[in-house]
């Protein structure tokens, strides 16, 4: 259920959650409360995952290098700070990416070299076993979570594989939800920041039938309110959760749990929503996906 002021209220009407007989727990990865899973010259990286995607959150120094030698599929890079860019080398291609950018890097060998001290966020699918094993919550996915549809890649990008980059400094528009970008395997929504506390009379509790939502907090703090459906079998019921997560952190919300999030600190609160594969409902809203011309929807021409 979306408040009338929420652009998502224009999506197709929500249906009751599909019948489910088992439920996964939500995952909460508080990067600020744990040591990094990987540390090297000029970088520290924290890893956490969902069923189909994982996040690598790095604090870097100038000259720090984050490399992949044989990446199985496309991945996403986010540079959230204006003063902290990076050089991307992917195969024979070199791209100098400014701060406040998002990019999608093709499969194969690639590296990112930080131009300044800051943060680099990478988002991958879970087709890379070496990265899956580094995740702080890897044990949660020793068995596949119920209700999550498998990842099926969308069509290759128009014009073939290359680094594709876009500015995050996009002016908001009436009726458009956030700043959404997609690739063949991911959808990333760099949400409009919330300044101060969210109005609790205008929340957006909703559910997803068969895909997870990753909520990556990079500034401020949010409470994630999550409720699981009741079924005839009381032994699978779960208590409601109201988890406070500051930056940096990742919450993975399983289907078909009802959920909403609210900023709870004065000042600047920034969250990024992650889906894998891309969401078709968002993709079919005209103007919502800002790089739609580069990435076709399955079954449609570019």
Q: Return the structure tokens found at 105.
A: 């890097």
Q: Mind listing the pLDDT tens digit for each residue in 109-140?
A: 999 999 999 999 999 999 999 999 999 999 99
Supply the pLDDT for residue 243: 98
Q: Taking the domains of the chain in order of start, what are their residue ranges?
A: 7-152+160-280
Supply the pLDDT for residue 16: 52
Q: What is the dihedral of CA 96, 99, 101, 106, to 10 degrees?
A: 40
Q: Calculate the CA 90 to chain-centre distance.
A: 22
pLDDT exceeds 60 at position 15: no
pLDDT exceeds 60 at position 17: no
Instruction: Find the mean pLDDT for residues 79-95.
Output: 97
pLDDT exceeds 60 at position 259: yes
Percentage of the chain beyond pLDDT 90 is: 91
Contacts of 72 (CB under 8 A, 6+ apart): 107, 125, 127, 128
Q: Calculate the CA 199 to chain-centre distance.
A: 24
pLDDT exceeds 70 at position 147: yes
- Beta carbons of 290 and 179 less than 8 angstroms apart: yes
Q: In angstroms, rounded to a whole number, what is the distance separating the alpha carbons of residues 155 and 183?
A: 9
- Beta carbons of 290 and 181 less than 8 angstroms apart: yes
Q: Radius of gyration over alpha carbons of the chain, in Å?
A: 19
Supply the pLDDT for residue 300: 77
Give the other-Cβ count within 10 Å of 252's Cβ: 27
Q: Calculate the CA 294 to chain-centre distance.
A: 19
Give the confidence band of 294 by pLDDT, cuts at 50, 70, 90.
very high
In whole numbers, what is the pLDDT of the chain averaged over residues? Answer: 95
Q: Which H or E run includes 130?
A: helix 129-132
Q: Mind listing the pLDDT tens digit for each residue in 184-225?
A: 999 999 999 999 999 999 999 999 999 999 999 999 999 999
Q: In angstroms, rounded to a whole number, what is the distance separating the alpha carbons of residues 92 and 237?
A: 53
pLDDT exceeds 70 at position 13: no
Alpha helices in 156-265 (DSSP H): none
pLDDT exceeds 70 at position 227: yes
DSSP 299: T
Supply the pLDDT for residue 156: 97
Query: pTM to 2 decimals?
Result: 0.95
Supply the pLDDT for residue 14: 54
DSSP structure string for 249-285: EEEEEPTT-EEEEEE-SSSEEEEEEEESS--HHHHTS
Q: Return the structure tokens found at 194.
A: 């919330």
Using DSSP's 3-state secondary structure scheme, residue 174 falls into coil
Cis peptide before 71 (omega within 30 of 0): no
Q: Return the structure tokens found at 45.
A: 């990286």
Homologous superfamily (CATH) for 7-152+160-280: Jelly Rolls (2.60.120.10)
Indicate the burial class of 111 (C-beta count within 10 angstroms; 0-12, 13-18, 19 or more). middle
Q: Which residue has the higher pLDDT, 17 or 26?
A: 26
């Amino acid at each position: 259920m979306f408040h009338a002021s929420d652009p998502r209220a224009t999506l197709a009407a929500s249906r009751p959650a599909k019948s489910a007989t088992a439920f996964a727990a939500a995952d909460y990865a508080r990067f600020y409360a744990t040591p990094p899973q990987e540390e090297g010259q000029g970088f520290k990286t924290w890893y956490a995952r969902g069923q189909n995607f994982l996040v690598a959150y790095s604090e870097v120094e100038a000259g720090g290098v984050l490399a992949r030698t044989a990446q199985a599929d496309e991945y996403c890079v986010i540079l959230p700070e204006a003063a902290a860019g990076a050089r991307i080398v992917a195969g024979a291609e070199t791209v100098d990416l400014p701060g406040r950018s998002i990019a999608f890097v093709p499969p194969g060998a690639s590296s990112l070299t930080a131009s300044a001290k800051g943060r680099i966020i990478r988002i991958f699918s879970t087709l890379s076993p070496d990265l899956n094993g580094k995740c702080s919550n890897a044990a949660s996915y020793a068995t596949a979570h119920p209700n999550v549809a498998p990842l099926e890649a969308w069509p290759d990008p128009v014009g073939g594989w290359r680094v594709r980059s876009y500015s995050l400094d996009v002016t908001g528009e009436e009726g458009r939800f956030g700043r959404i970008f997609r690739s063949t395997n991911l959808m990333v929504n760099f949400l409009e920041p919330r300044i101060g506390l969210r109005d609790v009379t205008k929340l957006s509790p909703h559910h997803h039938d068969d895909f997870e939502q990753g909520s990556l907090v990079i500034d401020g703090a949010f409470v994630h309110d999550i409720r699981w459906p009741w079924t005839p079998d009381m032994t699978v019921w779960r208590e409601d959760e109201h988890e406070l997560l500051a930056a940096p952190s990742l919450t993975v919300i399983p289907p078909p749990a009802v959920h909403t999030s609210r900023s709870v600190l004065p000042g600047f609160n920034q969250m990024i929503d992650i889906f894998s594969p891309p969401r078709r409902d968002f993709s079919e809203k005209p103007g919502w996906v800002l790089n739609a011309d580069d990435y076709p929807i399955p079954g449609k021409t570019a």
